[in-house]
């Protein structure tokens, strides 16, 4: 980490930028405390007050949290999302003032595994042909939060060359003329294996929420089979259940 004392950028702003970069390291994402202010000041060649100003700014922003007697570390930012908000992850996050960051995105053509072929309701001949497979890692605040992989039914006519950085179902609606209408969902809990942990920037064994869904159009024709893996320390699911039938009568 280096500070440019000849730069017109204020020293505390430079320190803040360096701390943001430092927080991208896996150790700090997993809860490791920041070095003491005095040590950081010595390493950067600035006074302790400058480091404290930068840290307080990040605390006020919600990036860091300070605990008396323990130190400073990344704040646990658990986003509460709702199962009913399935059509657009990006829009749902935007509504909460969160900018979604795309860490990786890859579209390929692959022969679907048996489970996927069954979920897409592919005919026997169709199941032997490659379909579009979309793999994405997204998050917020510089931290990967969700890994998702989707397989699309051939009826979508996707080629894999589309701009998958835009909201997926908007893309399907505009490019394919298909309107996603319903989603059958299953949510469970699991522990990240080494491969998933690498994608989400966490340790193997880290708890994750697994959300599996099958998306269909208005005619109940399946168009997508999707698996999402959310870091449990970054997401909380909310679910509202309403009682059907007649309204309860007072005692």
CA atoms 185, 188, 194, 197: torsion sign: positive
Question: What letter would DSSP give residue 127?
Answer: G
- 11-74: which CATH topology? Arc Repressor Mutant, subunit A (1.10.10)
Q: How far apart are alpha carbons 117 and 126 in whole angstroms?
A: 8
Q: pLDDT digits over 146-164, tens only? A: 999 999 999 999 999 999 9
Average pLDDT on 222-244 reads: 78
Alpha helices, DSSP H, located in the chain: 11-22, 26-29, 37-44, 48-61, 89-95, 114-119, 168-176, 194-200
- For the question of whether the overall pTM of this predicted structure is more than 0.85, the answer is no
Q: What is the mean pLDDT of the chain?
A: 84
Domain segments of the chain as ranges: 11-74, 79-238
Average pLDDT on 91-118 reads: 86
pLDDT exceeding 70 applies to what percent of the chain? 84
pLDDT at 95: 64
Measured torsion, CA atoms of residues 226, 83, 100, 23, in degrees rounded to the nearest 10: -100
Q: pLDDT digits over 188-202, tens only? A: 999 999 999 999 998
Q: How far apart are alpha carbons 101 and 212 in whole angstroms?
A: 22
Q: Is 65 helix (H, G, I), strand (E, B) or coil?
A: strand
- 79-238: which CATH topology? Chorismate lyase (3.40.1410)
Please report which confidence band the pLDDT of residue 129 belongs to, taking 50, 70 and 90 as the band edges. Answer: very high
pLDDT at 232: 87
62 dihedral zone (left: phi>0; alpha: psi -120 to 50; beta) = left
Q: Report yes or no: 209 and 187 within 8 Å, Cβ to Cβ.
A: yes
Whether residue 247 is predicted with pLDDT greater than 50 in this model: the reply is no
Q: Report yes or no: 67 and 148 within 8 Å, Cβ to Cβ.
A: no
pLDDT at 86: 53
């Amino acid at each position: 980490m280096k500070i440019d004392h000849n730069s017109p950028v204020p020293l505390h702003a430079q320190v803040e930028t360096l701390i943001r970069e430092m927080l991208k390291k896996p150790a700090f994402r997993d809860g490791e405390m920041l070095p003491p202010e005095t040590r950081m000041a010595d390493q950067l060649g600035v006074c302790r007050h400058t480091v404290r100003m930068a840290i307080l700014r990040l605390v006020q922003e919600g990036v860091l949290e300070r605990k008396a007697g323990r130190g400073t570390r990344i704040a646990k930012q658990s986003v509460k999302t709702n199962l009913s908000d399935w059509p657009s992850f990006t829009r749902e996050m935007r509504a909460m003032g969160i900018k979604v960051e795309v860490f990786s995105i890859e579209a390929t053509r692959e022969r679907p595994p048996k489970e996927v072929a069954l979920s897409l309701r592919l005919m026997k001949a169709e199941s032997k042909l490659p379909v579009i497979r979309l793999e994405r890692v997204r998050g917020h605040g510089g931290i990967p939060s969700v890994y998702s992989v989707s397989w699309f039914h051939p009826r979508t006519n996707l080629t894999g060359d589309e701009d998958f950085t835009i909201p997926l179902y908007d893309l399907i609606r505009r490019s394919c003329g298909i309107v996603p209408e319903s989603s059958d969902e299953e949510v469970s809990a699991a522990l990240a294996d080494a491969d998933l942990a690498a994608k989400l920037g966490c340790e193997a064994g880290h708890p994750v929420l697994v959300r599996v869904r099958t998306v269909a159009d208005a005619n109940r024709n399946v168009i997508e089979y999707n698996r999402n893996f959310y870091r449990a320390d970054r997401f909380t699911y909310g679910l509202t259940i309403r009682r059907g039938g007649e309204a309860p009568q007072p005692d």
